[in-house]
């Protein structure tokens, strides 16, 4: 049941909704770039128009296919067209490589539902879904949440295994009746951990336009409802009322950036905010912060939190999902319930004023190992091999 030659081969098709800037997207790109090319023929499928499209197109020997109707919003007629396009693409992969197992690995909620349905219809040999946070959360209307949970339960029937970036997401999936614990593998979303040991505080402050003697509270995030950027601005307003010299930096971009800029201006803080957009010098930018603040309402496990911790920056964050698996309240960070801007503000003020002293960087060695990006890829390769061996494909080890 293999393609012959020196050893077993498989075609791996990763499907993600949009290559915007974010942890799930970077995780997926590094995976398809680093999977063993001797064993895996790699294909990436996504919607068109993401900031990382060009990076994907530049990965050697990776085949990239864009599906124009694969969009983040729920648009029934476009979703139907995307399903048929995905099914056709996957059927073509099966036709081109008879006898070679076809693995379909989906990411994110929209691509996860449509991609797994298309994989089932196309006769894929192995279907895996990575959870980078769920599309449902407590803040949604009950009918909307019930719809998304039902969709995930249905797609679970077409899924051989799940990958989660946090234990909290595994517990959520179990509680919602989407899967049993034994069907899900914990694989942290890795990154180049060593880069965050080499950040330059001076270079980061030049990028942000902030002087060395000024205190800075910063974040790195997509400006979308999940990340609650207006909560960041409200925390900034409260911090500034007690510590008038503090500066703030919101690094990133997205649909709510104009709202955040407007809120900062309305609070009289426009001159104390930096909005540099996305920057590639992330280790330098994190090194420039005195406090890293994340106001997310829900999460998988945001990679920027362990990145800040490796850089030795105190973290103040909401205790959303996987964040509380790496930040220990009162030791290397301060945690507060999602939406609790009062507790977040007090945490920031206490750190900047010296009333709270944290051991930032105390988990550095553990995080360097746990979030190693090559370890992430090797763990996924082992999962593929185990599952293919379990399905009877010769040459794959369990």
| Tens-place pLDDT, residues 59-116 | 999 999 999 999 988 899 999 999 999 999 999 999 998 889 999 999 988 999 999 9
SS3 for 111-163 is HHHHHHHHHHHHCCCEEEEEECCCCCCCCCCHHHHHHHHHHHHHHHCCCCEEE
Per-residue pLDDT, 72: 86
Per-residue pLDDT, 3: 40
Give the residue from 378, 370, 384, 383 showing the smallest Cα distance to 190: 370
CB 122 within 8 A of CB 94: yes
Per-residue pLDDT, 398: 67
Per-residue pLDDT, 108: 86
Q: What is the DSSP letter of 48?
A: S
Mark the ranges of the chain whose per-residue pLDDT is less than 70: 1-6, 398
Per-residue pLDDT, 360: 84
Per-residue pLDDT, 91: 97
Full set of structural domains in the chain with CATH: 10-190+372-390 (3.40.50.2000), 193-370 (3.40.50.2000)
First vs last C-alpha separation in the chain: 16
Neighbours of 53 (CB within 10 A): 17
Per-residue pLDDT, 212: 87
User: Quick check: pTM over 0.85?
Assistant: yes
- Tell me the H-state helices in the chain: 23-34, 53-57, 76-96, 109-122, 142-156, 167-175, 201-208, 229-242, 257-266, 282-288, 304-310, 323-326, 341-352, 364-370, 373-390
Residue with tokens 């969009």: 71
Per-residue pLDDT, 232: 98
């Amino acid at each position: 049941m293999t393609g012959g030659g020196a050893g077993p081969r498989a075609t791996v098709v990763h499907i993600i909704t949009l290559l915007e800037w974010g942890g799930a997207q970077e995780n997926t790109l590094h995976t398809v770039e680093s999977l063993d090319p001797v064993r895996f023929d790699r294909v990436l499928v996504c919607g068109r128009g993401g900031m990382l499209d060009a990076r994907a197109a530049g990965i050697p020997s990776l085949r990239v296919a864009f599906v124009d109707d694969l969009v983040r919003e729920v648009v029934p007629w476009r979703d139907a067209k995307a399903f048929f396009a995905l099914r056709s693409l996957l059927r073509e992969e099966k036709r081109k490589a008879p006898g070679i197992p076809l693995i379909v690995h989906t990411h994110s909620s929209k691509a996860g539902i449509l991609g797994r349905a298309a994989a089932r219809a196309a006769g894929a040999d192995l279907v895996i879904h990575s959870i980078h946070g769920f599309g449902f959360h407590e803040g949604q209307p009950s009918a909307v949440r019930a719809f998304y949970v039902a969709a995930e339960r249905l797609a679970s029937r077409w899924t051989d295994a799940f990958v989660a970036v946090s234990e909290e997401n595994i517990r959520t999936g179990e509680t919602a009746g989407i899967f049993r614990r034994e069907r899900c593998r914990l694989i942290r979303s890795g990154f180049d951990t060593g880069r965050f040991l080499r950040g330059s505080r001076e270079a980061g402050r030049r990028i942000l336009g902030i002087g060395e003697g000024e205190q800075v509270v910063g974040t790195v995030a997509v400006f979308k409802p999940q990340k609650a950027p207006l909560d960041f601005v409200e925390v900034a307003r409260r911090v500034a009322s007690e510590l008038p010299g503090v500066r703030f930096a919101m690094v990133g971009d997205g649909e709510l950036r104009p709202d955040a800029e407007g809120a900062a201006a309305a609070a009289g803080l426009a001159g104390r905010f930096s909005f540099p957009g996305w920057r590639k010098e992330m280790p330098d930018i994190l090194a420039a912060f005195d406090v890293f603040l994340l106001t997310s309402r829900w999460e998988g496990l945001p990679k920027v939190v362990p990145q800040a911790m490796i850089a030795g920056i105190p973290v103040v964050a909401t205790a959303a999902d996987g964040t509380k698996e790496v930040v220990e309240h009162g030791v290397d960070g301060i945690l507060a319930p999602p939406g609790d801007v009062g507790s977040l503000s007090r945490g920031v003020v206490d750190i900047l004023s010296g009333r709270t002293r944290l051991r930032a960087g105390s988990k550095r060695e553990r995080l360097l190992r746990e979030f190693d990006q090559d370890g992430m890829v090797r763990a996924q390769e082992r999962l593929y091999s185990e599952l293919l061996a379990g399905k009877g494909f010769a040459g794959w080890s369990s």
